Structure 1
């Protein structure tokens, strides 16, 4: 279960990093770019911890898909961007794709069935 927590941390860090990127580009502040680099690095690190047990295809789909939906919501709320019907349909398609990927996972790809690599077990 903690690997799903790492995935949630990866998503949150990605969304925050991307938000700082946008904020920095609008305000011309280099601190936002520094925050972006740190947060995106943290996102990839947390993702690497998540894929120890979560199948990589599912983890990546959830990371990118949920991140995309979240950053779209952030852009609506904080950056005044709009959400038209095509963008809403795209978001629905992304979420549907994540569900299809999850449903397509074989029982052997379940969290408990994935063997832990020797180096990862040392953590």
Structure 2
């Protein structure tokens, strides 16, 4: 169970890192750029710890799938990016893919 906590930390820190990447405006703003590097460092370190107990395919599917879907939501809510039916359907497909990968490994 501790491995899934590390995986959750990896997802959350990746989300912060990606948001800071957007805020860095092409790495031209110093503080968001530094924060982005730190967040991605935490994300990869936490992911590496989760891989000690979670199979690579499962961990990566959860990390990348949750990260992608939640990044889209953050883009819509925080950055006021456009949302439409295609975006919603894409997020649902990502979630379905993560579920299928997890079912296969069970």
The verdict on a shared fold, with TM-score over 0.5 as the criterion, is yes
Task: Please state which band the TM-score falls in when normalised by the shorter chain.
Answer: over 0.9
1:3-28 per-residue CA deviation (whole Å, 9 max, x = no partner) reads 000000000000000000111118x5
Separation in structure 2 between the aligned mates of residue 85 and residue 77 of structure 1, nearest angstrom: 16
Specify every segment of 5 or more residues in structure 2 that has no aligned partner in the other structure, as ranges.
Answer: none
The alignment's C-alpha RMSD in Å is: 1.5
Consecutive aligned runs of 4 or more in structure 1 exceeding 6 Å deviation: none
Separation of aligned partners in 2, 1:78 and 1:88: 17
Larger-Rg structure: 1
Give the TM-score normalised by structure 2.
Answer: 0.94
Alignment of 1:27-106 (within 5 A): 28-106=28-106
1:27-77 CA deviation, whole Å, 9 max, x = no partner?
A: x52210111011001100000000100111010000000011111111111
Instruction: State TM-score, norm by structure 1.
Output: 0.82
